[in-house]
Amino acid sequence: MAKSVKINPVQARSDTQLGTVAADAGDDQEKLSSRDFVSSLSRGLEILSSFSRTSKKMTLTEVANETGMSRATARRFLLTLVKEGYVVTDGKLFDLTPKVLDLGFSVLSKIGIWDRARPLMERLSEQTGESCTAAILDGLDVVYVAGVQAHNIIGVGISVGSRQSAFYTANGRVLLAAQPEENWDGIIANARLVPRTRHSVTNKTELRAILEQVREQGWSLVNQELEEGLLSIAIPLKYRSGVMAGSINIAVPTVRATPETMIETYLPKLKETAEDIQKSLAY
């Protein structure tokens, strides 16, 4: 029997971005003026985002380099975040605390699609005996918003609320491939292709070709690029309106599957589940 994993608070935003925030309720939206822009808030958020990008503890110098701030400026913001409980330090290294997860809780807690998706993901996990996750795109990362862990001797760890580079995950490649083509140059230019395994793609031209193939076929298969011995296949998950909501995937250890069986056996079941989730939605 598969075990459902409930959504935890997470520092994330939905990639669907179905609405916009306007200064006025009229037809014309005014651009944010310089007097409305709070640079201190912007810099504080950039500090927090830098930890998400690097996924590691950092020294003051590393934070300054990552954000483009001076050491003195970065130090003031870090110490403020430490005092507020969002960052912790041992005197040399700085790291985020679980309190930052509260920043995104209200967003994910309102995404009703994941409440509807979870029972169907549980069914998929029971049918296949494998783990299933759902993710959204946040910048160039994927954030896991729902998951079902299958109980096997060799399992696939799922951490709802965690994030990974979108470039080495099946979920991430599906979501990146769905972005408007005019954004692709920026996506590729900003890709940080730090190899996770000996199979990881490190060439940006090759990455672009992969995304083009994913867009054309409508699904993504990642063969041991994120983790040795792990296969993953993902497809987009959309609202009835056609707007992208996120993606769902099945992850299987290589001892139980090959790339061919992922496509022949698991992909059809994944598509069926995505269709059933979409049918359950009101819009």
Residues 52-67 pLDDT 10s: 777 688 999 999 999 9
Residues 118-160 pLDDT 10s: 899 999 999 999 989 999 998 899 989 888 887 653 445 556 7
Sign of the C-alpha dihedral computed for residues 240, 242, 245 and 251 taken in this order = positive
* Tokens 């995304």, located at residue: 211
pTM of the model as a whole: 0.62
Sequence ranges of the domains in the chain: 3-10+105-279, 37-103
CATH number for the segment(s) 3-10+105-279: 3.30.450.40
CATH number for the segment(s) 37-103: 1.10.10.10
Fold: same for 3-10+105-279 and 37-103: no
* Burial state string for 95-104 with b = 16 or more CB within 10 A and e = fewer than 16: ebeeebbebb
Q: How far is CA 183 from CA 163, 178, 189, 212, in A?
A: 21, 10, 10, 13
